Structure 1
Amino acid sequence: MEIATLAPLLIVVLFVALAAGLWIGFALIAVGLVAMVAASSAPVTLVFATKVWGSLTIWDLTSLPMFIWMGEILVRSRLSSDMFEGLSPFTRRLPGRLLHVNVLGCALFAAVSGSSAATTATIGRMSVPELLARGYDPKMAIGTLAGAGTFGFLIPPSIILIVYGAATEQSIAQLFLAGLLPGLMLALMFSGYIMIWALLNRSRMPEAEPAADDSNSFAALMRLLPVVGLIVAVIGSIYAGIASPTEAAVIGVTGAMLLAWATGAASWKGMGDSLLAASTTTCMIAFIMAGAGFLTVAMGYTGIPRALAAWIGAMGLSPYALLAALTVFFIVMGMFLDGISMVVLTVSIILPMVTQVGLDPIWFGVFLVIVVEMSQITPPVGFNLFVLQKITGRDVLTLAGYAAPFFLILVIAVALLSIFPQIALWLPRTM
């Protein structure tokens, strides 16, 4: 079958499968089967078995379930309340005051969970009721959480960076290093916007609370020490070369268990629930990676990636033009697919084009994650919006409106990262 006919057919098959409610992993397998049957005489069952096995036996993926389990344990501990109470005294003097707790809390929790949805849900359960009760503007109280919750995808240890590294055979430790400064940059940009908004909208801010005394500030600092210690243990062990990402994940799980025990949140039922939730999430990701792995091979047989790369090359796009086109492409895809599915489905086709124009694969991983972050706060399939809908009871379109300024900040961050790639590459090249 000709490529011009086959490509639209495969797109139709994919969207029909997704619209029918088929799991994403199985939908990708269905598209791969159609592609293999239509474009090749190779033995489909042999190719399927070989590629699926190969996709799931990548050593770098062994850190994935451990980091997920670490996050699930911490969700069931008192970490979020300790962080809120620990950060509050240090933000009261900033314009915007406690709104900054959403940004700082999400940044800290992202550094020990690796999941955007877990970060949004954990911090949101604590901060949103507290902020609304204290009279903060609902649009900003919820919008800041929607935007900052996306940090879980970028700030190490990021689950999606692990998936990208395994799919592209890039160093996960290098990707973690590359994601650190862009994550801090985003946190500063979000906090900067909060301060500007607060100064321009003083009438929409609640009355200032009494300043905390030094003893309260010291007690608050003590509440932050456990999470900071866990971050140092997990991320520091990787950066110092003491542990591989997989070994650091084990350190993280051990530390999370100790924190849960120390806060009185540890129980056999809680540990069982966290293990079950981590297993479910890991299996979901594994199915997606297996399906994407098979589809990648099937697409190779069709010749579509080569034809697409040649078509892009013939257009003579500059790196900036290509990145602009890819940004729009991923934003549109993010309206229908979750972040991990977007990465594993497209990276094998997109990466050759990216390297062809001279872009670094490590840098592109960070670029891709920030663009995927945008999809978390765009309807109709914005996972962070679904989490916030459950917490606040507001509809998805209203929540998307609250998150719109932070979507624009993410767009600015992508532009800055494209103009100044050293933001992501400086740490990997110096450590």
Structure 2
Amino acid sequence: MLVMMTVLLVALLLLLGSGVWVAFSLMGLAWIAISQFSSIPTGDVMASDIWSASYSWELTALPMFIWMGEILFRSRLAEDMFSGLSPWLQRIPGRLLHTNVVGCGLFAAVSGSSAATCATMGKMSIPELTKRGYDERLVLGTLAGSATLGLLIPPSIILIVYAVATDQSIARLFMAGVLPGVMLITLFAGYLMLWSWRYPDKVPPAEARMSFMDKLRASRRLIPLFALIVGVIGSIYAGIASPTEAAAVGVVLSLLLAKLQGAMSRRIFMEALLGAVKTSTMIAFILAGASFLTAAMGFTGLPSDLAAWIGTLGLSPLMLLAVLTVFFILLGCFLDGISVVVLTTSIMLPMVEAAGIDLIWFGIFLVIVVEMSQITPPVGFNLFVLQGMTGRNILHIARAALPFFGLMLLGVILITLFPQIVTYLPEAMGNS
């Protein structure tokens, strides 16, 4: 087993380090594993597994949710959210910095993407908040940290990928992500309050008071957003639509919203459609490579051997989770979140199941840890987005995001100590 692991690890590092696409790297690694460590015909396995991974019905929700996010990215949604939220957040300690946290949480509930959430909110909030005199470092930190909620709050693209890779229910995973998402929003908002009390001189004074009716009038711009959230997420939770059907509803509603805003033209429509096609095919290609790798790992017997070896170490479930947390964070420093999920599930799941860890809970645990890797250099995608928008050094942005990395680590500890935060809603849905 040690020789096999060494050969495959070196091969993976060489493939990824040489700039080979992740999908090709996964396929190449699988080819080496089967051809060198089993007697199974490699070509037959490759053809059958890549084909079987390409027609999964669950995958049909993926391009639809991505298309919905692409449409909303090109709409005025972020501007409407800022205008609708800011009157209500003026008097809270931290003031308009909370628009990054709440706004990212709301946009995450309709986009499913961390990078799209970061880019869309940043496009609006960075110039607005810096113009008002808010601390730039905290503006960037709240945006980098809060945008990771796009991976967790449904409809999360990475949760769909995890569900397909592990044969879990997409709807149950979506339900499981709600309370942890709210928990992280609460932790981020609490940190902003404590920071503003500690450094009151760095928070601009509140703007002129608005009457309650004026606040309500400003909040009218939030109605389309809440209608979209109810239409997409509410239809899943109410059992009216499957995730795939809800994704189609979301596309129609987002097209209608963009049209009503005057943000839809033939050019924008084609840009959104092509963006969705490119992203969807990239993810589908990675999943096909991951399916081939999963089959290869099964034929070599490496996952079961590795799980048995770890079992001999006598690690408790908590120790296993601590080791996996460090492992996923390190892996996330060099790979994007989707690649981390598809690359590790075939090897990790046997030992996770052997430890008696619920796979729905583990999916949320994995996504939060992957969220942390989105704001760690050198391959923190949210850091790249913010660097492109501001021109600031990536290490400067990473330092700004460091407190939120710590808060997400606290979130991992909380769901480990209180797993009901994750499991309550899926179990309630199963019992209803």
Counterpart position of 2:175 = 177
Counterpart position of 2:389 = 391
Q: CA deviation at 1:40?
A: 1.6
Counterpart position of 1:333 = 331
- SS, match of residue 149 in structure 1: helix
Quick one: distance in 1 between partners of 2:227 and 2:185?
20
The superposition leaves residues 162-198 of structure 1 with CA deviations (integer Å, 9 ceiling, x where unpaired) of 0001111111000000000000010011000000000
Please show how residues 8-23 of structure 1 align to structure 2 within 5 Å: 8-23=6-21
Aligned residue identity for 2:372:
M
Quick one: distance in 1 between partners of 2:140 and 2:334?
23
Q: CA deviation at 1:90?
A: 0.7
Counterpart position of 2:91 = 93
Counterpart position of 1:32 = 30
Counterpart position of 2:188 = 190
Please show how residues 316-355 of structure 1 align to structure 2 within 5 Å: 316-355=314-353
| RMSD of Structure 2 on Structure 1 (CA) | 0.8
Quick one: distance in 1 between partners of 2:37 and 2:346?
18
**1:281 is matched with which residue: 275, 279, 293?**
279
The superposition leaves residues 344-395 of structure 1 with CA deviations (integer Å, 9 ceiling, x where unpaired) of 1101211121121111111111111000000100000000000010111111
Quick one: distance in 2 between partners of 1:429 and 1:302?
36
Q: CA deviation at 1:152?
A: 0.2
Please show how residues 397-412 of structure 1 align to structure 2 within 5 Å: 397-412=395-410
Counterpart position of 1:291 = 289
CA contact (8 A) 2:78 2:121 kept: yes
Counterpart position of 1:210 = 208
CA contact (8 A) 2:297 2:346 kept: no
Counterpart position of 2:234 = 236
Aligned residue identity for 1:163:
V
Counterpart position of 2:69 = 71
Quick one: distance in 2 between partners of 1:78 and 1:58?
34
- How many corresponding residue pairs? 429
Aligned residue identity for 1:141:
V
Quick one: distance in 1 between partners of 2:222 and 2:344?
39
Quick one: distance in 1 between partners of 2:262 and 2:214?
23
Q: Does 1:141 align with 2:139?
A: yes
Aligned residue identity for 1:328:
V
Counterpart position of 1:413 = 411
Quick one: distance in 1 between partners of 2:311 and 2:319?
12
The superposition leaves residues 48-77 of structure 1 with CA deviations (integer Å, 9 ceiling, x where unpaired) of 010111112211111000000000000011
Q: Does 1:131 align with 2:129?
A: yes
Quick one: distance in 2 between partners of 1:183 and 1:325?
23
Q: CA deviation at 1:155?
A: 0.2
Quick one: distance in 2 between partners of 1:56 and 1:148?
33
Q: CA deviation at 1:333?
A: 0.3
Counterpart position of 2:224 = 226
- SS, match of residue 95 in structure 2: coil
Unmatched tracts of structure 1, length 5 or more: none
Aligned residue identity for 1:370:
I
Quick one: distance in 1 between partners of 2:247 and 2:303?
35
Aligned residue identity for 1:410:
M
Q: CA deviation at 1:216?
A: 2.7
Q: CA deviation at 1:41?
A: 2.0
- SS, match of residue 371 in structure 1: helix
The TM-score normalised by the length of structure 2 is: 0.98
Q: CA deviation at 1:307?
A: 1.3
